[in-house]
A = this chain, B = another copy of it.
Amino acid sequence: MEPWQEELIGLTAAALTTAAFVPQLIKILKTKETTGVSLTMYLVMFTGIVTWFIYGLLIESVAVIAANLVTGILQIGIIILKLKHR
């Protein structure tokens, strides 16, 4: 497999794990229901995403920086909604 094909698979993976948070955010926006959603999960996850973002800056990877910037924004939204509708 060519390196660009491998990178395409990596970018697809990043797009999927980033996009995954969109249906969760929409579900809470629609239902205002967060019972069952773990706040601890999102706080640990957000800390991890910030760490990935720093790693992306250090290794100068645009894909890592971009994916974690978008994921971080989505997670801030989920955390705010969880705190609002608890």
List residues of A whose CB falls within 8 A of some B CB.
Answer: 1, 6, 9-10, 12-24, 27-28, 31, 33-38, 40-42, 44-45, 47-49, 51-52, 54-55, 58-59
**Assembly stoichiometry (copies):** 2
A20 touches which one: B14, B15, B41 (CB < 8 A)?
B41
A35-B35, A36-B35, A38-B23 known; A16-B47 Cβ under 8 A: yes
Is A13 a contact of B45 with CB atoms below 8 Å? Answer: no
Please judge, given known A-B contacts A1-B58, A36-B33, A41-B24, whether A48 and B16 are in contact too, CB under 8 Å: yes
In the complex formed, the residue of B with least CB distance to A37 is B36
Q: How far is the CB of A19 from chain B (nearest CB, A)?
A: 6
